[in-house]
């Protein structure tokens, strides 16, 4: 089938890289509610689309002078980081459990945090940490970043110590760290994480404020409440959002540096080197020119795929992932999917499948194989090959990766 297709019944321009009958009634209603917001210029729906909390995952929303916090989500700045190493499959041992153990020792997962704040100076980080880039290793950069904490939303100032200990940690859910092989057996490192608890707390506080504002009283769904440009509430949200997006980028950069350190120490005679990392947010806001207009674009479960933009589109813990390059599709608002996308809820996955199913579906991958990650088994996700095929006009494939190690919280 040729994409995109219009969403039936949408009140503003809404194009989909998915078929309506594959999406689900609740998600379609959510998309129509988004398209009905008076500030919306247009909505673009990615092939990994599925029902989300407040707003649909896999949606790209261009608004005039307005932003809906729910259209960003609670994990502000969540995204991907990946890097090609100089290792090949031949360098890896037959038993990968020791390497997985070292990664788990270096990077706290789930609700765990570092016992003391990680020192960026010791991790060979580079860049300024903004916009999904590097972690910022210089002292001034980090002091300037943390110096902004006291200006964040009232009531989170006592969370600074926790935020410092959580930076450089994975979290749980669908967050992961992987060691992968590409088609020519080169080793890649890849991870998925966001702004941890501080991003969630900031998002939830602003969502509550937005819902109470008078201009949102008659919305089809109050979860889609917006802030309007020129208001102190919008200014406060954009300030906190920008900080949380930077926190997420720095979080991933620190984790990647820690993992690279593990790999160097695991192969001491190999002289391991690393290419320039690929980094991309997929829950964020950006000011962009769309259809000749300066608009605020939110991507919730979508990456930017401007011409030449490199991105990472993961599958699940037992299937492949893709390194892609954007084709610059104006029709998609310069966007592509952020992953395979769930095809069933976590509770449904736990009802329908067993640990034996998880073991079978993750065969050949060194990973957890217990009830704690059952809801993350490959069958709970859409087919990544079909998702990539549906957006052939949005991205070109640079590399196809298959994980050999997967670390989850």
Question: pLDDT digits over 156-186, tens only?
Answer: 989 999 999 999 999 999 999 999 999 999 9
Query: 180-211 pLDDT, tens per residue?
Result: 999 999 999 999 999 999 999 999 999 999 99
CA distance 32 to 101: 46
Asked if residues 324 and 398 have their Cβ atoms less than 8 Å apart, the reply is yes
CA distance 187 to 192: 17
Q: Please check whether residue 26 is in contact with residue 52, taking contact to mean a CB–CB distance below 8 angstroms.
A: no
Measure CA of the first residue to CA of the last residue in the chain; give whole Å.
38
Give every CB contact of residue 260 below 8 A, 6+ residues apart in sequence.
83, 85, 124, 189, 272, 274
Cβ atoms within 10 Å of 389's Cβ, excluding its own: 11
Calpha distance 137→121 (Å, rounded): 5
33 DSSP 8-state letter: H
What is the pTM assigned to this prediction?
Answer: 0.94
Residue 128 has pLDDT above 60, yes or no: no
**CA-CA distance, 73 to 65, in Å (whole number)?**
19
Tens digits of residue pLDDT in 340-359: 999 999 999 999 999 999 99
Strand partners, 184: none
What is the Cα–Cα distance from 18 to 2, expressed in whole angstroms? 10
CA-CA-CA-CA torsion for 189, 193, 195, 196, nearest 10 degrees? -120
- For residue range 236-256, what is the model confidence (pLDDT) as tens digits? 999 999 999 999 999 999 999
Q: Give the side-chain half-sphere CA count within 13 A for 141.
A: 17
Contacts of 248 (CB under 8 A, 6+ apart): 75, 76, 77, 78, 79, 193, 194, 195, 199, 281
Decide if pLDDT at 130 tops 50. no
Confidence of residue 154 (pLDDT cuts 50, 70, 90): confident
**47-92 pLDDT tens trace:** 999 999 889 999 999 999 999 999 999 999 999 999 999 999 999 9
* pLDDT value, residue 120: 81
State how far the Cα of 63 lies from the Cα of 299, in Å rounded to an integer: 11
Active-site position among 41, 281, 338, 400? 338
Q: Does the N-terminal peptide bond of residue 78 adopt cis geometry, omega within 30 degrees of 0?
A: no
Closest by Cα among 184, 90, 170, 165 to 368: 170
Structure-token pair, residue 136: 């910022």
Q: How many CA atoms lie within 13 A of 173 on its CB side?
A: 12
Q: Would you list the DSSP string of 175-223?
A: -EEEEEE-TT-EEEEEEEE--HHHHHHHHHHHHHHHHTSGGGTT-S-GG
Q: Which pLDDT value is given to residue 125? A: 55
Q: Give the Cα separation of 189 and 256 in Å (integer).
A: 8
**Average pLDDT for residues 266-280, to the nearest whole number?**
95
Query: Is 192 a known active-site residue?
Result: no
Query: Mean of the pLDDT values across residues 263-271?
Result: 95
What integer pLDDT is reported at residue 126 of this predicted model? Answer: 45
């Amino acid at each position: 089938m040729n994409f995109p297709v219009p969403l039936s019944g949408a009140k503003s321009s809404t194009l989909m890289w998915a078929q309506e009958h594959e999406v689900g009634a609740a998600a379609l209603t959510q998309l129509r509610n988004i398209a009905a917001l008076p500030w919306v210029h247009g909505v673009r729906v990615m092939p990994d689309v599925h029902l989300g909390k407040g707003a649909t995952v896999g949606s790209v929303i261009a608004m005039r002078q307005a932003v809906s916090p729910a259209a960003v989500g609670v994990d502000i700045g969540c995204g991907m980081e990946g890097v090609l190493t100089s290792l090949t499959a031949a360098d890896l041992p037959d038993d990968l459990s020791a390497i997985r153990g070292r990664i788990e020792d270096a990077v706290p997962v789930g609700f765990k945090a570092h016992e003391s704040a990680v020192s960026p100076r010791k991790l060979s980080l580079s860049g300024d940490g903004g916009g999904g880039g590097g972690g910022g290793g210089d002292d001034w950069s980090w002091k300037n970043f943390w110096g902004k904490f006291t200006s964040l939303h009232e009531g989170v100032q006592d969370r600074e110590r926790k935020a410092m200990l959580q930076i450089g940690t994975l979290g749980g859910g669908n967050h992961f760290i992987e060691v992968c092989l590409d088609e020519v057996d080169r080793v890649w490192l890849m991870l998925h994480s966001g702004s941890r608890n501080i991003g969630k707390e900031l998002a939830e506080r602003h969502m509550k404020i937005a819902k109470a504002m008078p201009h949102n009283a008659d919305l089809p769904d109050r979860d889609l409440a917006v802030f309007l440009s020129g208001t102190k509430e919008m200014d406060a949200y954009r300030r906190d959002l920008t900080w949380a997006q930077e926190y997420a980028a720095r979080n991933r950069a620190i984790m990647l540096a820690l993992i690279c350190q593990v790999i160097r120490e695991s192969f001491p005679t190999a002289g391991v080197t690393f290419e320039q990392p690929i980094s991309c947010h997929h829950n964020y806001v950006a000011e962009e020119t769309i259809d000749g207009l300066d608009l605020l674009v939110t991507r919730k479960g979508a990456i930017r795929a401007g011409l030449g933009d490199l991105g990472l589109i993961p599958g699940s813990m037992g299937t492949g992932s893709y390194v892609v390059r954007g084709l610059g599709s104006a029709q998609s608002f310069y966007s592509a999917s952020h992953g395979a996308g769930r095809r069933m809820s976590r509770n449904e996955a736990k009802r329908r499948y067993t640990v034996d199913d998880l073991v079978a579906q993750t065969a050949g991958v060194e990973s957890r194989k217990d009830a704690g990650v059952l809801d993350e088994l490959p069958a709970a996700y859409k087919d990544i090959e079909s998702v990539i095929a549906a957006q052939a006009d949005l991205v070109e494939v640079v590399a196809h990766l298959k994980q050999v190690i997967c670390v989850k919280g």
